[in-house]
Amino acid sequence: MSGVLIIGDNERAAIAEAIRSALAKPMPWEKMRQLIVDDRDNPSNTLTLDERPDSGRIDALRREYPTYPVKLGSYVAAISFEEQPSGLFRHISISSANPGKAPNEHAVRMVLEAFGFSGYPPSRPYRVWVEHYEPGRVAINFVELEPS
């Protein structure tokens, strides 16, 4: 088992506040492009530790343009918004508190719904990938284009 997902009234209130906060401070494209790993020549759905941009640069940008984490039982979902050339994207990163575990498909579906994504899979332009963010720790990431 990868974890226990809890989305009750308290979590829904925390999600609403996280979305409001993230929308108020989206990461601008000129900053966002410093973090993007360009895999157009060799597309991948996995971002390894070796492929991640410099963690100091990530930390500095995240201090200025934070993600907003919400604890959902034994999962954590962190929301942010990012400006990209095609528009504003909603970005969520979902991880398990249990090292070596990743959220299962059912948990991901429920988290996406709770955070206002269009569905699973999303109906608007999107991308999904697995990110290794620390040794033995992974997160499922979704970005979806916001309606204009």
Q: Domain ranges for the chain, please list them.
A: 9-145
- CB neighbourhood size of 8 (10 A): 9
d(C-alpha 9, C-alpha 14), whole Å: 9
**Which pLDDT belongs to residue 44?**
67
**Which pLDDT belongs to residue 117?**
97
Q: What is the pLDDT along the chain (148 residues), one digit of tens a residue?
A: 568 999 999 999 999 999 999 999 999 999 877 776 666 666 667 665 566 666 676 677 878 889 999 999 999 999 999 999 999 999 999 999 998 899 999 999 999 999 999 998 889 999 998 988 888 899 999 999 999 8
CA 19, 65, 126, 87 torsion-angle sign:
positive
Contact assessment for residue 20 and residue 126, using Cβ atoms and an 8 Å cutoff: no
Q: What is the pTM of this model?
A: 0.87
**Which pLDDT belongs to residue 121?**
85
Residues linked to residue 80 through DSSP beta bridges, in sequence order? 91
